[in-house]
Amino acid sequence: MRIAVFLVLCMLLGTSTIFAAELPKNLGHVQDRAQYFQEKDKKVLRAEAVSGSLHYYILTIPTLGGEDSAKYATSVYKSWKLTKNDVLIVIADKERRVEVNFNNSELQKKLDKLPADYDGDGNKNEKKLVEFVDKHFIPSAKEGDFVGAVRQLMTSMNKLMPAAAAKPTEKPAAAGAQSPVKTDGTKKPEKTEKPEKTESSGEPVNVAPFFIGVLIFFLFIAFIIAAIIVLKRLFSGLKLKKKLAEVREQIAMQSVELAQALDALTPLAEMSQGRTGAVVKDQEKQLTTLLLETENIGKEMDANSIMVLNTKMLFYNLLLYTEYMVENEKKMAVVTRKANELADAEKKLGPFASRIAGNLNRIEIGINDMAQKLGSQLLPLRQSLEDAKNVLAKATEQSAFDVLSGTEWALKAERTCNALQSEYDELVELHGQLIGFPELERNCRESVKEIIQFHNLHAFEEETLSLIDRSNTLSEQMLTELKQGQVSSARSLWEQCQKLLREAVTSVTKLSELRRSNMDKADALDHKLKQLIVTRDKLNDELLQLSHRYVKSLWADMKDEYDQWLTDLTAATKDLDIAKAQTGDREQNFESAKNIFDDLSEDFETFEAAAASMLETIEQWDKANYGLRNQFDADLSLYNQAIEHCRANRIFLTPEFLQEAESVIRTQSETFQNAATSSPCNLMLLEQYGDSFHEAVASICTMIQRIEQNKYTAVQKLTMLDTSFKQQLVLAKGMLYKRKIKQSYNELKTAAERCIQTGMYEEALEWLKQLEEFVLSLGSANRIQSQLHANAQMQQQQRIQATRTVVYHQTTNEEREERPRPKPPKPKSGSSWFSSSSNSSSSRQPDKKPETKNSSGGSSWGSSNSNSSGGSSFGGGSSKGSSSGGSSFSGGSNKNNGGGNSSGGSNW
C-alpha cells in the first residue's frame, strides 16, 4: 500500500513538471524578459518583493502570443507552485497588459471592502482588483515609469496586509486526556463499553495501549508526508544541480575561448610597436581581466557546495550565475571580435601587398609596350608608377612592427594602383581609337560628298569639308599628347574630333532635308496658284456679267476688293518665284526660301477665302433676283386664284372692290416688271417693289377671306335662327299672335337674305343680329305664357278669376304686338376694302397672324385660324378647325374638313 501511494505521488509530480515546462521557469522574484528594468532597478525590486507580509514575483514578457492574460497568469502561478502569501505580477509588453494573480482569501476580503469606484473613473461595476491596479499601477506605467508602478503596487498591497503575529503552536495533550475521534457525517461513533468493576478486583481500567496506537498511527502519517516532501525537494534539487552543472560547463568554455583569443594575440603584442602595440596591449589587458573573472567565478562555483535539499539556495545561485554568464558572453563578443580583427589584419596584410605588387608589375609591362608603340617614354605614367611602388614599400616596411599603419599604407597603395590602372586603360583605348580614325574620317568624307552630290549642295561643300579637315588636324595633336603621356588632353581632343565629324554629317543632312521640304512646299503652292488663277478668271467673268446685270452701286465695293486681291496675288506670285530661285541650284538660300514658303502658305489660304467670299456674295445676289421674280409670280398667281375662288364658290364682291383691287394689282405689277426687265437691274429697288406688291396681294386676299367668312357666318346664322324660330313658334299660343310674329320674322329674314344675295354680308349680319334679338324676345314671352297656364290649372277653384287673368294677359300681348315697331337702321353698304374694320397683315413673314373681329366662320391668309364654322383657306395658310364647307387650294392645307379638331406639325 505504501509503495502504491509513493508511485502515485511520483507520477503526479512528474506530470506537473511536464506541464510546467511549457511556461517560463521560476528563476527568482524578478524576471525581466521584456527588458524593462536595469540591473540596479532589479536589485531594488528583489529587495522590496520580500520585505513585507506578501512575497511578489514580477514577470515581464514581450507578448502573450494571442493567449488570454488571466489564463496565462493563472498557469504561471500554478506552474511556479506559489503559496498563499505569494502574489504574481505579469506585464505583457506588446499587449500593454498587466495581470495580478494570488490565492489569498484575506487579501481578497480586504479588496472587497474598498469603496465603490476606487479608481475614480466613474465605473462602479469593475472588479475591486482591477480598480486597485488602475489606481496604483496604470498612472506611472502610462508615463513609462514601470519601476515606480511596480513599487507603488507592492507598497499599496502591503498596506492592505500588515505583518501578522505568528500563531501559537498547539500543546500536546496531557496524559490521560481523551483525544477526539474523527467520524464521518453519517455514522455515529461506537460507544465503548466500560468494564464493570467487580468487587473482587478493585483495580482501575488501563487505556494507555489505545492512546499509544493512535499516536503511532499519526506518526506514521507524518512520516509519509515528510517522505513525500523530501522526495519532491530531492527531485527539484537534482534538477537545479544539473542546471548549475550546465552553467558551470558553459563558464568553463568561456574561459577556454578567452584563453585561445589571448594566445592568438600574444605573438602580435610581442612584435608590434607604435599604434598597433598600444591597441594590442589594451586588448590583451581586457582579455586577461575577463579571463581571471571567469576563472574566479568557476572556482567559486566549485567551492560552493550546497545540499540537494536546499532548493531555495540552489535556485538563487542558478539565477545569479546565469545572469553572470549572459553578461560575460556579451563582453567576450566585443573583446574577442577586436582581437580577431587584429590577428586577421596581420595575416591578410602580406597577401594584400603581394596582390598590389603584381598589379603594378602588369601595369609596368603595359606602359613599356605602349611606350614602344608610340615611340615615347610616357614619363607621367612612369612617375605615377614609381609613386605607387614607393607607397607599397612603405606599407611593407610598416607591416613588420605596426600592422595598423601598414594596412593604411597598403590601402593607399591600392588606390594609387587603381588610378594608374584607369589611366593606362584610357591610354590604350585612345590609342586604338586614334589608329581607327583615318578610316572613320574617310567614311565621313564619302558620306558628306554623296549627300552633296545627290541633293546638288555644292555651295556648302567647301564649308562642310573644312570641318572634316579640322578634325584631321586635331587627331594629329591628339597623337602628340598621347606621346607625352597627357591622357586627359588627348581625351578632350578626341571628343572634339568626333564632334566635328558629327557636325559635318548633320549639317549636310539638315540642308538636304530642308531643300526637299522647300521643294515639296513649292509644288504645293504651285498647285494652289493654279487653282487661284482659275478662280481669278471666274471672278473676272462674274464681275463682267455683274456690270451688265446690276447697277454699279451694287458691285462697286466688290470691284475694289477684287482689284486689291488681284494685286496681292500678283505680288505673292513674284515671291513664289523668288523662293523657287533660292531653292534652286544657283542660289541655294534654303532658310530664306523656307520663310517665304511659310508666309505664302498663309497668304494663299487668305486668297482662297476672299475669292470664295466674293463668289458667294455674287451667288446670293443672283438668288435674291430669282427669288424676287418667283415671289412676284407666286403673289400674282395667288391673287388670280383668290378671284377665281370667289367666282367658283359664288362669293359676291362689290364692283367698287373689284375695280380698286384690279387697279392696284395692275399698277404695282407693271412697276415691278419694268424694274425687273431694266438693264442694268437695280436689285434694291426691285426688292422694294416686290415687297409692295406682296403686301397689296396679302391685303386683298385678307379682305376676300373676311368677305367669305362673313358670308358663311350669315348663312349659318340664318339657318340656326330659322330652326330656333320654328321651335318658338310651336310653343306660342293663339293663331293671331302666331301670324303676327311670323310676319315680323319674315320681314327681317327677307332683308337679311337680300343683303346676302347682293354681297352685302356685313349689312346681312346686322339684320341677322336684329333677327336674333327678336327670336330671343319671343322665347321670353313663351315662357311667361307657360307659367300662367300652369297657375291656371293649379287654381281650378278660382276659374273665373283665372280666366279673366288669362284673357287680360292675352289682350295685353295682342295690343303690344299691334303697336308700330320701329324699323332698324339700314346697314351701311358699298364700303371700300381699303377702309374695312379688319386689320390686314402686310408683312411677308408667315408667322405674323392677321387679326379679325369675327368670332366664327372663314379662314385667314398665310396663317392658322381655328374657327367653329364654314369657310375655306388658300394662299399658303392652313385651316385647322373648320367644321363645314369650303375648299383648299394654292399650297394651303385644310387639315380637318367636316368637323372635329386635330393637330400636327413640328417645332423649329
Could you tell me the three cell numbers for 674?
419694268
For the cut 80, the answer to whether the pLDDT of residue 892 exceeds it is no
pLDDT of residue 77: 92
List Cα–Cα distances, 297 to 284, 290, 304, 318, 322, in angstroms: 20, 11, 10, 13, 11
pLDDT of residue 800: 53
At residue 142, the 3 state secondary structure works out as helix
Spatial CA neighbour of 558 closest among 608, 603, 615, 607: 615
- DSSP assignment letter at 484: T
**In the predicted model, what is the mean pLDDT of the chain?**
75
Could you tell me the three cell numbers for 812?
295685353
pLDDT of residue 889: 30
Exposure pattern of 360-370 as b/e (b: 16+ CB <10 Å)?
A: beebbebbeeb
Compute, in degrees rounded to 10, the torsion defined by CA atoms 328, 330, 334, 339: 40
Q: What is the pTM of this model?
A: 0.39
For the cut 80, the answer to whether the pLDDT of residue 799 exceeds it is no
Average pLDDT over residues 496-518: 87
Strands 30-32 and 55-61, by their bridges, are: parallel
For the cut 50, the answer to whether the pLDDT of residue 855 exceeds it is no
User: Mean pLDDT lowest for which of 262-266, 452-456, 610-614?
Assistant: 262-266
**pLDDT band at 57, cuts 50/70/90?**
very high
Cα–Cα distance measured from residue 519 to residue 104, given in angstroms and rounded to the nearest whole number: 110
The model's pLDDT over 596-633, given as tens digits with 9 standing for 90+, comes to 888 888 888 898 899 899 889 888 888 988 898 899 99
Which positions ≥6 away from 244 have C-beta within 8 Å?
A: 301, 314, 317, 318, 321
Spatial CA neighbour of 321 closest among 337, 299, 336: 299
Whole-number percent of the chain with pLDDT over 70: 76
Residue carrying C-alpha cell 497668304? 603
List Cα–Cα distances, 255 to 266, 291, 339, 525, in angstroms: 16, 6, 15, 102
Range of 283-292, 374-383, 615-624, 806-815 with top mean pLDDT: 615-624
Amino acid in the structure at residue 594: K
Indicate if the alpha-carbon torsion angle 526, 527, 531, 534 is positive or negative: positive
pLDDT of residue 627: 92
**pLDDT band at 848, cuts 50/70/90?**
very low
Cα–Cα distance measured from residue 12 to residue 740, given in angstroms and rounded to the nearest whole number: 146
Spatial CA neighbour of 414 closest among 357, 453, 461: 357
pLDDT of residue 661: 87
Indicate if the alpha-carbon torsion angle 405, 406, 409, 414 is positive or negative: negative
Average pLDDT over residues 481-501: 87
Spatial CA neighbour of 870 closest among 643, 768, 717: 717
At residue 180, the 3 state secondary structure works out as coil
Could you tell me the three cell numbers for 322?
546565469
206 vs 336: which has the higher pLDDT: 336
For the cut 90, the answer to whether the pLDDT of residue 291 exceeds it is no
pLDDT of residue 205: 53
Average pLDDT over residues 871-888: 34
pLDDT of residue 150: 93
The model's pLDDT over 63-77, given as tens digits with 9 standing for 90+, comes to 988 889 999 999 999
Cα–Cα distance measured from residue 756 to residue 760, given in angstroms and rounded to the nearest whole number: 6
Cα–Cα distance measured from residue 398 to residue 405, given in angstroms and rounded to the nearest whole number: 6
For the cut 80, the answer to whether the pLDDT of residue 870 exceeds it is no
Residue 821: exposed, middle, or buried by beta-carbon count in 10 A (0-12, 13-18, 19+)? exposed
Strands 97-102 and 86-92, by their bridges, are: antiparallel
Average pLDDT over residues 390-400: 79
| Size (the chain), residues | 908
Could you tell me the three cell numbers for 202?
478493585
Q: Is 870 left (phi over 0), alpha (psi -120 to 50) or beta?
A: left
For the cut 50, the answer to whether the pLDDT of residue 8 exceeds it is no
Element (H, E) at 31: strand 30-32
Q: How many CB atoms lie within 10 A of CB 682?
A: 16
Spatial CA neighbour of 83 closest among 111, 121, 43, 54: 54
Under 8 Å between Cβ of 471 and 434: no
Average pLDDT over residues 501-516: 86
pLDDT of residue 98: 94
What residues pair up with 97 in beta bridges, in sequence order? 92
User: Mean pLDDT lowest for which of 264-268, 502-506, 683-687, 815-819?
Assistant: 815-819
pLDDT of residue 452: 83
**pLDDT band at 864, cuts 50/70/90?**
very low
245 vs 733: which has the higher pLDDT: 245
Q: What is the 3-state secondary structure (H, E, C) of 384-435?
A: HHHHHHHHHHHHHHHHCCCHHHHHHHHHHHHHHHHHHHHHHHHHHHHHHHHH
Strands 30-32 and 873-874, by their bridges, are: unpaired
pLDDT of residue 90: 94
Cα–Cα distance measured from residue 353 to residue 342, given in angstroms and rounded to the nearest whole number: 17
The model's pLDDT over 406-440, given as tens digits with 9 standing for 90+, comes to 788 888 888 889 988 888 898 888 888 888 888 88
pLDDT of residue 75: 92
Cα–Cα distance measured from residue 648 to residue 644, given in angstroms and rounded to the nearest whole number: 6
Residue 203: exposed, middle, or buried by beta-carbon count in 10 A (0-12, 13-18, 19+)? exposed
Q: What is the DSSP string of 528-553?
A: HHHHHHHHHHHHHHHHHHHHHHB-HH
For the cut 50, the answer to whether the pLDDT of residue 832 exceeds it is no
H helix and E strand count, the chain = 21, 8
Under 8 Å between Cβ of 615 and 542: yes
Spatial CA neighbour of 244 closest among 326, 322, 303, 313: 322
pLDDT of residue 791: 65
Instruction: Tell me the HSE value of 187 on the side-chain side, using a 13 A CA sphere.
Output: 7
User: Mean pLDDT lowest for which of 157-166, 441-450, 466-475, 720-729?
Assistant: 157-166
Helices (H), 732-832: 735-757, 761-794, 799-818
Cα–Cα distance measured from residue 287 to residue 265, given in angstroms and rounded to the nearest whole number: 10
Could you tell me the three cell numbers for 441?
574620317
Cα–Cα distance measured from residue 485 to residue 470, given in angstroms and rounded to the nearest whole number: 23
pLDDT of residue 475: 87
Cα–Cα distance measured from residue 617 to residue 623, given in angstroms and rounded to the nearest whole number: 10
Under 8 Å between Cβ of 92 and 85: no
The model's pLDDT over 302-348, given as tens digits with 9 standing for 90+, comes to 777 677 667 777 787 778 878 878 887 887 777 777 777 777 776 77
Helices (H), 795-889: 799-818
Range of 173-182, 241-250, 697-706, 725-734 with top mean pLDDT: 697-706
The model's pLDDT over 85-139, given as tens digits with 9 standing for 90+, comes to 899 999 999 888 999 999 988 888 888 888 888 888 878 778 888 888 998 999 9
Whole-number percent of the chain with pLDDT over 90: 7
What residues pair up with 87 in beta bridges, in sequence order? 56, 102
